[in-house]
Amino acid sequence: MNIYIPASTLIDYIDCPRKAYLKFILREKPYSANIIQRKYDYIKNEEQLFKYAKNNFKKTEKIFLESDRYLISTSFYLITTFCDKRFPAFIGKHAHLSLYLLAKIVTGLICFEEASAKNIDRCLIFYPPETINLFVVSETEKQMILELLKRMLITFESGIIPNPIDSPRCNYCNLGSVCLKNEIRKIKALHPLVDETGR
């Protein structure tokens, strides 16, 4: 039986390979007010997307798909226009296309291609509250994301936890106390007042 990797794990990998490994392979679960808020914001945006699509298109449904070829799983809204054309729809946050959103789009399209046995290179991007644009994925963009996916699979199969990255984002990562526990022990030995996150 195949084990499918959620598209969100690829987004974690782009942000930090070590974080992706800890969350997916070692099943470390980060919880914080920030994560809860982000989930709430995403659900709110999904509700706005569904409401907008319901009023402007023929049909809207949320689907969950898996790719046996790439061992990835994802979910997105599928919008059917009044001309009976179907487009996967994704939620954007900013005017520019981020690498994170591109990864979600490409993984969604490859899963949709596999399920429908049709080539598809375009989708809709919803920018709350009422903007929706057609986006065409280039072959270069698709290959870039597939290469990242391949590197992530190699990392997971190696059984070796990636080294920590040197990034300011580490100060805000909810896995800091797990990811950097050896480093934190060394710091606490010298500075007893340092808390469990190493800050």
Task: Write the pLDDT tens digit of every residue in 124-182.
Answer: 999 988 889 999 999 999 999 999 999 999 999 998 989 888 777 777 777 777 777 65
Q: Chain centroid to CA 109: how far?
A: 14
Neighbour tally for 110: CB within 10 Å: 23
Please say whether the beta carbons of 75 and 64 come within 8 A: yes
Write down the pTM of the prediction.
0.82
Domain ranges of the chain: 5-163, 165-199
pLDDT < 50 regions, the chain: 187-188, 190-191, 193-199
Residue 75, pLDDT score: 94
Cα torsion for 38, 44, 50, 56, to the nearest 10°? Answer: -110
Tokens coding 82: 């009044």
Amino acid making up residue 139:
E
Q: What is the DSSP pairing of strand 131-136 with strand 122-127?
A: antiparallel
Amino acid making up residue 124:
L
Residue 31, pLDDT score: 57
Tokens coding 47: 């509700």
Residue 181, pLDDT score: 64
> CATH assignment of 5-163, given 3.30.465.10, 3.50.50.60, 3.90.320.10, 3.90.79.10?
3.90.320.10
Residues 65 and 71: their CA atoms lie apart, in Å, by: 11
Residues 109 and 97: their CA atoms lie apart, in Å, by: 16
Residue 25, pLDDT score: 86
Residue 97, pLDDT score: 85
Q: Is the peptide bond before 128 cis (omega within 30 degrees of 0)?
A: no
